[in-house]
Amino acid sequence: MQVSGTIRIVSSNPLNLANTLPSGQSFRWKLCRSHTWIGVIDNHVISLKQNSPSLISYTAEPCASSEAIKNRLIDYFRLESPPLRELYRQWGQSTKTNHAENHTADINADFKKKAQKLDGLRLLRQDPYECTFCFICSQNNHTKRISSMVETLCNVYGSFIATVDGVDYYAFPKIDQLLRATEPELRGLGFGYRSKYIVESAKIVKENGGETWLRLQKLVPTDVAKLALLSLPGIGHKVADCIALFSMERLDVVPVDTHVWKIAMRYLPKRKKNSSTYQYIADFFKEKFGPYCGWAHTILFAAELKTFQTVMDEDSKVNKSKTKAKKTANL
């Protein structure tokens, strides 16, 4: 059974699907016909369309309750969180910190400029079990290939949900389904060296209590949750932080990959650049953006992605045109 409904978005707490869904947090959303995003949440195929900044329509199947889907989407997009508009304003304010000496630029001012192009980019609240295995696939990988791998895992090992617009959709495989995967089989499906990580991690998760074990990590201190994640093959500090941020309510965690390292290098004190460590960079973001620094980091990270380069380059093109016009006028 298919259900449908709408969600009204207030201006103080915006949600922009086009900025949020391709931002590198989740790998199960695709932009399809008529500006509609189709993805899978839990055991439902969800179609979302942004009709205006204040109105999003949705359909879901199979489901018996439109209200249940609406509540799940409110939870998934954190629409109950502190007003995002106010957070954007705070993140865009220049601050003085212990790292303020010899800055080459102001990261908060840069955030303010970039955030104008990425309004309403929300931090998703994902399932810790699914998020963990999706990010095991992310090692040394790009978004398009990660999405393909995750889709393969679901199609081969997951349970069928529904057919929408001629496409079959499958749920993310439960741990007992994932345990059927073998390393040779996964290698044949294109997972490469990650095949071993998936197989071995699935066994460890099962031994510790299955999906529930990973979901319970939301309730323990951050360092304990990270130790649990780091015990899984293929998960280092960056991947563990991604999982903690996107699915375990650790909004003050900052995953540091090459994109984030390059961002930090623009703003860290010159004398610290050569000695910068993972934790030093994470602490720098926390000092500059506060308790929701993981969310602010995600917006700056998205601004570096090819997906958003056309939008982000618009200002530079306009500024170049203005500079050229001024020079011509002065001749």
Q: What is the pLDDT of residue 6?
A: 96
Domain borders along the chain are: 1-81, 84-111+253-308
pLDDT at 26 over 90: yes
Confidence of residue 139 (pLDDT cuts 50, 70, 90): confident
Q: How many helices (H) and strands (E) does the chain have?
A: 16, 7
* Span 185-225, pLDDT tens digits: 999 999 999 999 999 999 999 999 999 999 999 999 999 99
CB contact at 8 A, 82 and 122: no
Identify the architecture of domain 84-111+253-308 in CATH.
Orthogonal Bundle (1.10)
Q: What is the pLDDT of residue 276?
A: 66
Tell me how far apart the alpha carbons of residues 150 and 30 are, in angstroms, rounded to a whole number: 13
CATH hierarchy code of domain 1-81: 3.30.310.40
Q: What is the mean pLDDT of residues 266-294?
A: 83
For residue 96, the tally of other CB atoms under 10 A from its CB is 10
Q: What is the mean pLDDT of residues 89-97?
A: 82
pLDDT at 101 over 70: no
* Span 286-298, pLDDT tens digits: 999 999 999 999 9
3 state DSSP class of 143: helix
Q: What is the mean pLDDT of residues 302-310?
A: 90
pLDDT at 230 over 90: yes
Confidence of residue 98 (pLDDT cuts 50, 70, 90): low
Q: Pick 174 or 94 by higher pLDDT.
A: 174
pLDDT at 158 over 50: yes
Active-site residue numbers? 238
Q: What is the pLDDT of residue 318?
A: 47
Mean pLDDT of the chain: 90
SS3 labels along 234-288: CCCHHHHHHHHHHHCCCCCCCCCCHHHHHHHHCCCCHHHHHHCCHHHHHHHHHHH
What phi, psi does 257 have (nearest 5°)? -110, -170
The secondary element (H helix, E strand) that includes residue 183 is: helix 183-188
Confidence of residue 123 (pLDDT cuts 50, 70, 90): very high
For residue 56, the tally of other CB atoms under 10 A from its CB is 21
